[in-house]
């Protein structure tokens, strides 16, 4: 018999070697192990719960879903409910009416059928109307492709754009690892540009231009520019002027602009507003989006739930940011949007050497120690990319608000101990 | 300003040129156009509705979803319902209990959270128990990867297995175009083996062996064998003996066996049983799967709905098969499983020349004429692959049962006219 020809060491190396996904990497696996240990041997660790600040996964940390969305979803899942009398007392009137409208737009009211490849036309019409209303410019349902989450959309674009290893995509550093992983998976070249930490993670056209020319001089055919706004993991919100320059740059250089705007509702500062690149590209004007309207039965509770979530996130962001900035050797930019803080660590030389001795990046070493001492899970900045020689961690603002003070005090105690232990 | 560097003619050619998807191709687009014409100009065509026999999409053709599944889904999407008194009269008691169990297995009962990358552990445990019960052999939840549909699972495997254009995958011809498209997309080589129409689409090891050796002699590193059982588009169910030979072949040749068993519940003949390749590989034993059990509140209606669907499909398959076999120049194998008939057309030479004159495959020419004359949408066999010089169409058995007699009589009238018009 022949030996099996397929084994881990001869799988597609693009998948096995190049795709690293720090938000689900070593630290998280270690945290899951510690969580099991807490269950089987309570009291065996210096903390009694694991606090996941690594992944932007609010509902896993107790954030409640928005009732209106869930009502509509349940009614569309099981449309027979709409014919029952009891439904009127169980569901809000506007959820019933919204589900009825959605079902009417689905051929045969068949929510279990394959749809048009771009997504159900009636839903794309509603989304186009919402975008038009948000931006003040017309939107066309035929230009919209619905995907199940952002990742398949990014993969689809990379697959279309990347033909071989000489095709490049301009990506911010730090960036969300979905971009580096999907570019590697599709066999292209990541062309980095650095966000400027000293100007609040600003995106500078001069750096874009320099990186583009540098890549072209190496024979890379740069095809697209990725912009994440609000930023992940960096939390900044782009200024309108800056966005105009980016659009102009893409037009001049013949680049596809890939705008990741998933955090458009998560803005925490009064002096910044989210502007879609679609709107910027067509220029000026801003209105409301297509959700329950004032006067609808659910509107008050919908608005209260949504505002409650966003206001609480803003308070958590501010509390964590202040706490980080009060610690020796940590400097944290303001979180203007999204769900993350990305503080910079100035670590003592001794700590850097201790990390090197165990073959770890200094920020990964720090994150591992933090986990072991406190149960707090963060992601090392090296998973997102950073200016060489700088070290960061990404910490979400998602743990429940009442847990934030405990997180801050545990973090503070750990950090002070760490700095004292490795002081140069 | 530079001209835009990205345009349709310089996108990734693997995506743009090589991925053909006949079940959503030219004929379907033409059918959608005719459907619009029927709406705007009623009476302008020789039929008054389009009958979609092209895609395995039962609920779009009026098949009702199974109530139990939809009840559980609605309760999991909106768990607050479980706390309300009215829910007890709106939902069956076992759906309430099943949803409660499922929610308890999801960390934080958070159905809106990112899950473990392989899928929620508690659900994988339940699936493993169902597989163990079906096969009579243990199944391990850690070996199970949940995907949203079969396509992402197939893409994932192709991505893992295919490193470059010298990596080959053995695929049945005819095959479902998901396989040819995903192999092309990931840049590998499709190594065809032919199902034998004269033995009811039998899979012959001697042909597998011959194609494997032929591919190897051309420097192709064959990595895996795709088997679709029950067959799509061919509808056959493999015999246990044949499955054993396939497993042995894969073991001897070091091939990964990719078994597509999505139609395991769709079996229409008494003398064939579905056996999973997992069971075959571990050998012998068969039990029930993990759905409502006799005695549960929903069991009677669940069983009635499910049996009703399958019995009706079996009657539709038989009626269409008989109708095809009663027509001149059509020969159709028995549909033992899945949802398709794949009759062979013996077309007059004049028809083949007429097709050639308009630059179409003869079966595509036939399908287009069928659509224009009757509104019936089928897929040409050339979209699935077939022995060169033979022509087929794939027709689903999914239109509502009361429409089948009309489909048969329209089809018969068209076919007789077509044969008369092109008689040699």
Q: Which two tokens stand for residue B342?
A: 């794949």
Domain A10-61+306-419, CATH: 3.90.1150.10
At residue A331, the 3 state secondary structure works out as: strand
pLDDT 10s digits, B25-56: 778 888 888 988 998 999 999 888 888 888 77
How far is the alpha carbon of A352 from chain B, nearest alpha carbon, in Å? 32
Reported residue count of chain A is 424
Which of B1, B162, B223 shows the shortest C-beta gap to A5? B223
Among B1, B2, B6, the strongest candidate for a mutation testing the A interface, having the largest count of A CBs within 10 A, is B6
Which of A55, A87, A113 shows the shortest C-beta gap to B57? A113
How far is the alpha carbon of B210 from chain A, nearest alpha carbon, in Å? 17
A226 CB neighbour count, 10 Å cutoff: 25
A62 compared with A345, residue with greater pLDDT: A345
In this prediction, residue A16 carries a pLDDT of 63
In this prediction, residue A287 carries a pLDDT of 34
pLDDT 10s digits, B157-203: 999 999 999 999 999 988 888 898 899 989 999 999 999 888 888 89
Look at strands B376-377 and B344-345 and give their pairing: unpaired
Minimum Cα–Cα distance from A71: chain B residue: B78
| Percentage of chain B exceeding pLDDT 90 | 47
Contact A118, A92 (CB under 8 A): no
Reported residue count of chain B is 424
B209 pLDDT more than 80: yes
In this prediction, residue A3 carries a pLDDT of 43
Whether the complex's predicted ipTM is more than 0.90 is answered with no
Distance from the first to the final alpha carbon of chain A: 61
Distance CA(B330)–CA(B262), nearest Å, equals 28
Distance CA(B50)–CA(B407), nearest Å, equals 11
In this prediction, residue A19 carries a pLDDT of 55
How far is the alpha carbon of A343 from chain B, nearest alpha carbon, in Å? 25
How far is the alpha carbon of B251 from chain A, nearest alpha carbon, in Å? 7
Which of A113, A163, A251 shows the shortest C-beta gap to B1? A251
Q: Cβ contact (<8 Å) for A55 and B114?
A: yes
Mean pLDDT, to the nearest integer, of A14-37? 74
Listed by start position, the domains of chain A span: 10-61+306-419, 67-145, 150-282
Q: Cβ contact (<8 Å) for B59 and A3?
A: no
In this prediction, residue A289 carries a pLDDT of 38
In this prediction, residue A103 carries a pLDDT of 94
Distance CA(B263)–CA(B339), nearest Å, equals 8
B371 CB neighbour count, 10 Å cutoff: 22
| E strand residue ranges, A49-177 | 51-52, 167-173
| Percentage of chain B exceeding pLDDT 70 | 93
- For A373, how many CA atoms within 13 A lie in the half-sphere containing its CB? 18
pLDDT 10s digits, A183-234: 998 999 999 999 988 888 889 999 999 999 999 999 999 999 999 999 888 8
A294 pLDDT more than 70: no
Q: Which two tokens stand for residue A284?
A: 């000026």
In this prediction, residue A398 carries a pLDDT of 85
Pick the CATH number of B67-146 from 1.10.220.10, 1.10.12.10, 1.10.287.1970, 3.40.50.1100: 1.10.287.1970
Which of B59, B75, B221 shows the shortest C-beta gap to A113? B59
In this prediction, residue B294 carries a pLDDT of 56
Distance CA(B240)–CA(B304), nearest Å, equals 29
B199 compared with A297, residue with greater pLDDT: B199
In this prediction, residue B295 carries a pLDDT of 61
Cis status of the peptide bond prior to A271, with omega within 30 of 0? no
pLDDT band at B17 (very low <50, low <70, confident <90, very high): low
Architecture of domain A67-145: Orthogonal Bundle (1.10)
Q: Cβ contact (<8 Å) for A159 and B74?
A: no
pLDDT 10s digits, A69-126: 999 999 999 999 999 999 999 999 999 999 999 999 888 888 988 888 899 989 999 9
Instruction: Report chain B residues whose CB lies below 8 A from the CB of A112.
Output: 59, 65
pLDDT band at B11 (very low <50, low <70, confident <90, very high): confident
Minimum Cα–Cα distance from A85: chain B residue: B90
> Does the CA dihedral A377-A380-A383-A384 come out positive or negative?
positive
In this prediction, residue A158 carries a pLDDT of 94
Distance CA(A120)–CA(B397), nearest Å, equals 24
At residue B347, the 3 state secondary structure works out as: coil
Q: Cβ contact (<8 Å) for B81 and A90?
A: yes
In this prediction, residue B199 carries a pLDDT of 86
Distance CA(A79)–CA(A40), nearest Å, equals 44
Domains A67-145 and A150-282 share a fold: no
B130 pLDDT more than 90: yes
User: What letters, b where the CB count within 10 A reaches 16 and e where it falls short, cover A237-267?
Assistant: bbbeebbebbbebbeebebbbbbbbbbbebb
Q: Which two tokens stand for residue B5?
A: 């560097």
pLDDT 10s digits, B246-297: 999 998 898 999 999 998 988 888 888 999 999 998 873 333 333 455 566 6
A296 pLDDT more than 90: no
Contact A203, A237 (CB under 8 A): no
DSSP state of A298: T
Residue B119, Cα to own-chain centre: how many angstroms? 23
Cis status of the peptide bond prior to A233, with omega within 30 of 0? yes
pLDDT band at B16 (very low <50, low <70, confident <90, very high): low
Mean pLDDT, to the nearest integer, of B345-365? 94
Distance CA(A168)–CA(A100), nearest Å, equals 46
Look at strands B221-228 and B256-260 and give their pairing: parallel
B12 pLDDT more than 90: no
B233 compared with B190, residue with greater pLDDT: B190
Distances (CA, A) of B257 to B169, B179, B215, B246: 10, 14, 17, 9
In this prediction, residue B290 carries a pLDDT of 39
Q: Cβ contact (<8 Å) for A59 and B112?
A: yes
Q: Which two tokens stand for residue B345?
A: 């057309």
The overall average pLDDT reported for chain A is: 87
At residue B340, the 3 state secondary structure works out as: strand
Q: Cβ contact (<8 Å) for B61 and A87?
A: no
Instruction: Report chain B residues whose CB lies below 8 A from the CB of A13.
Output: 163
pLDDT band at B80 (very low <50, low <70, confident <90, very high): very high
B232 CB neighbour count, 10 Å cutoff: 25
Which of B78, B107, B256 shows the shortest C-beta gap to A74? B78
How far is the alpha carbon of A4 from chain B, nearest alpha carbon, in Å? 4
A339 pLDDT more than 90: no
Q: Please, what CATH class does the domain formed by A150-282 belong to? A: alpha beta
Distance CA(A370)–CA(A31), nearest Å, equals 11
Mean pLDDT, to the nearest integer, of A302-308? 82
A289 compared with B49, residue with greater pLDDT: B49
Q: Cβ contact (<8 Å) for A253 and B2?
A: yes
A1 pLDDT more than 70: no
Name A163's Cβ contacts closer than 8 Å, sequence gap at least 6: B10, B11, B12, B13, B14
When mean pLDDT is compared across A1-5, A269-273, B160-164, B298-302, the lowest value belongs to: A1-5
Mean pLDDT, to the nearest integer, of A36-55? 87
Name A77's Cβ contacts closer than 8 Å, sequence gap at least 6: A111, B70, B73, B74, B77
Distance CA(B416)–CA(B49), nearest Å, equals 21
Q: Cβ contact (<8 Å) for B61 and A1?
A: no
Name B368's Cβ contacts closer than 8 Å, sequence gap at least 6: B26, B27, B30, B360
Angle at B301 between CA B299 and CA B303, to 5 degrees: 65
Q: Cβ contact (<8 Å) for A108 and B60?
A: yes
How far is the alpha carbon of B32 from chain A, nearest alpha carbon, in Å? 11
How far is the alpha carbon of A212 from chain B, nearest alpha carbon, in Å? 14
Minimum Cα–Cα distance from B186: chain A residue: A186
Instruction: Report chain A residues whose CB lies below 8 A from the CB of B251.
Output: 1
A17 compared with B29, residue with greater pLDDT: B29
Burial of B327 (0-12, 13-18, 19+ CB in 10 A): middle
Distances (CA, A) of A147 to A114, A154, A156, B18, B74: 13, 10, 9, 22, 22
pLDDT band at A8 (very low <50, low <70, confident <90, very high): confident
Name B72's Cβ contacts closer than 8 Å, sequence gap at least 6: B95, B98, B99, B102
Which of A5, A159, A163 shows the shortest C-beta gap to B254? A5
Q: Which two tokens stand for residue A81?
A: 């409910």
Domain B10-61+305-419, CATH: 3.90.1150.10
């Amino acid at each position: 018999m022949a030996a099996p020809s397929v084994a881990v060491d001869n799988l597609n190396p693009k998948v096995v070697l190049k795709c690293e996904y720090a938000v689900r990497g070593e630290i998280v696996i270690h945290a899951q192990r510690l969580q099991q240990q807490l269950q089987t041997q309570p009291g065996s660790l210096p903390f009694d719960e694991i606090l996941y600040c690594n992944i932007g996964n609010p509902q896993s940390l107790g954030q409640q879903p928005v009732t209106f969305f869930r009502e509509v979803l349940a009614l569309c899942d099981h449309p027979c409910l709409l014919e029952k009398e009891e439904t009127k007392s169980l569901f809000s009137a506007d959820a019933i009416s919204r589900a009825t409208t959605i079902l009417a737009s689905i051929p045969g009211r068949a929510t279990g059928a394959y749809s048009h490849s771009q997504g159900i036309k009636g839903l794309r019409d509603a989304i186009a109307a919402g975008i038009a209303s948000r931006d003040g410019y017309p939107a066309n349902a035929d230009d919209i492709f619905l995907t199940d989450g952002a990742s398949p959309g990014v993969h689809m674009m990379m697959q279309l754009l990347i033909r071989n290893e000489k095709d490049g995509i301009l990506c911010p550093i730090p960036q969300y690892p979905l971009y580096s992983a999907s570019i590697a998976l599709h066999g292209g070249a990541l062309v980095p540009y650095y966000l400027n930490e000293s100007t609040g993670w600003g995106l500078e056209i001069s750096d874009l231009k320099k990186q583009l020319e540098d890549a072209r001089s190496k024979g890379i055919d740069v095809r697209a520019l990725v912009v994440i706004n609000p930023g992940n993991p960096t939390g900044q919100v782009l200024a309108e002027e800056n966005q105009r320059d980016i659009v102009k740059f893409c037009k001049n250089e013949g680049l596809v602009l890939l705008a990741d705007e998933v955090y458009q509702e998560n803005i925490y500062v009064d002096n910044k507003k989210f502007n879609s690149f679609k709107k910027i590209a067509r220029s000026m004007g801003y209105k409301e989006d297509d959700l329950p309207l004032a006067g609808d039965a659910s509107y008050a509770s919908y608005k209260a739930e949504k505002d409650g979530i966003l206001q609480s996130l803003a308070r958590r962001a501010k509390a964590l940011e202040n706490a980080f900035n009060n610690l020796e050797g940590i400097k944290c930019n303001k979180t203007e949007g999204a769900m993350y803080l990305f503080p910079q660590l100035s670590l003592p030389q001794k700590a850097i050497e201790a990390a090197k001795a165990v073959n770890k990046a200094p920020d990964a070493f720090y994150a591992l120690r933090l986990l072991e001492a406190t149960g707090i899970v963060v992601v090392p900045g090296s998973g997102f990319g950073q200016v060489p020689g700088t070290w960061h961690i990404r910490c979400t603002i998602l743990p429940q608000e009442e847990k934030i003070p405990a997180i801050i005090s545990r973090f503070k105690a750990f950090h002070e101990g760490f700095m004292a232990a490795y002081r140069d």
